[in-house]
Amino acid sequence: MNLQDAQNKIHAAGVFYSRSKDATGKNRHQVMDRNWLVVAQSPSPGTPFGEGDAILSVVKYGEPNNC
């Protein structure tokens, strides 16, 4: 799922603050959210979370990843 769609799902759950990070470790900023693919998340799916708890690890579309 792209980063924007993932953020929309988090918002739909009533949480408005989440974080994203570059899964490659290059610390790039995610400016165009639809250009990034979520490859991991914390907490894991199905775990209750609150404001600021959700962390989405992302890579740019087309980059190698383990998913």
pLDDT at 1 over 70: yes
H or E element, residue 58: strand 55-60
Question: Using CA atoms, how far apart are residues 8 and 54, in angstroms rounded to an integer?
Answer: 12
Tell me what pLDDT residue 67 has.
66
Counting residues of the chain whose pLDDT is more than 90, the rounded percentage is: 88
Mean pLDDT of 18-40: 95
Mean pLDDT of 7-32: 94
